[in-house]
Amino acid sequence: MIALILEDRCDGCNACVATCPTDVFDATETAPIIARIDACQTCYMCELYCAKDAIYVAPDQNAAETVEYEAVLASGQLGQIRRDHGWDRPSEPGHLDPYRLLGPLLNEGAETAVRRWSVQHGGA
């Protein structure tokens, strides 16, 4: 669940307030506040839409977590999801090229499991 908004990074654009699908945030005069954490579904969309990498979502979707500012900074995770997406370069050709490999790789994994189970059960 959403765990931290880094006020020193936040520029008050309120993109997280607008884009959160479950309306977790409220705007204030400065950085938004986490107003309804029980509605957070840990979907990471606020991180994706935060241009300042000022939001950290903790990984447990079943319970709120308390995180330390320094530890979050040190984790290298701030903005990681946005960078991995290439979210800021939507028109740049090629950055979604690996996507086509998803289906074949999932199939390969499924076949691995089929073969292994067959061997374990003495089948052909």
Partner 1 sequence: MSDRTRHTDVLVIGGGMAATWAAIAAAETGARVILVDKGFVGTSGVTATGGPNHWWVSPDPVLRREAIEKRLRLSEGLGDGEWMARILDLTWRYLPSLAKHYPFGSDGKGGIYYSGVRGSEYMRALRAAALEAGATILDHHPALELLSDSEGRVTGARGHAPRLDADWRIEAGAVILATGGCAFRSGLIGSHCNTGDGYLMGVEAGAELSGMEFSIAYTLSPAWASTRTLPYFAARFYDGAGQELDIPPGRAGHVHEQALGRALMQGPVLADLSEAPLALRPILHRIQPFTPAPFARRGIDLFKERFPVWLFGEGTIRGTGGLRIADHDCRTTVAGLFAAGDAATRELVTGAASGGGSVNSAWALSSGRIAGAAAAREALERGGKAKAPSRGLGQIGLAPSSEHRDLDLKGIDRTIGGEMHDYDKALWRNRDSLTASLLKLDGIWTDIARHGHAKGRKGIALRETAALAASARWCTAAALARSETRGIQVRIDRPEADPAQAHRLLTGGLDRVWTRFEHSSLVEAAA
Q: Judged by CB, which is closer to partner 1: 90, or 124?
A: 90
The minimum distance between CB 46 and partner 1, in angstroms, equals 8
The minimum distance between CB 106 and partner 1, in angstroms, equals 6
Distance CA 37, CA 66 (A): 12
Q: Judged by CB, which is closer to partner 1: 8, or 93?
A: 93
The minimum distance between CB 63 and partner 1, in angstroms, equals 9
- Which among 78, 90, 93 is positioned nearest to 46, based on CA atoms? 78
Q: What residues make contact with partner 1 under the rule CB under 8 A? A: 18-23, 38-39, 41-45, 48-49, 58-62, 75, 77, 80-81, 84-85, 87, 90-103, 105-106, 108-110, 112-114, 116-117, 120
The SS3 call for residue 55 is strand
Instruction: Write the DSSP string, 84-101.
Output: HHTTT-TTSTTTTGGGGG
The SS3 call for residue 33 is strand
Q: Judged by CB, which is closer to partner 1: 7, or 119?
A: 119
Distance CA 39, CA 5 (A): 16
The minimum distance between CB 9 and partner 1, in angstroms, equals 18
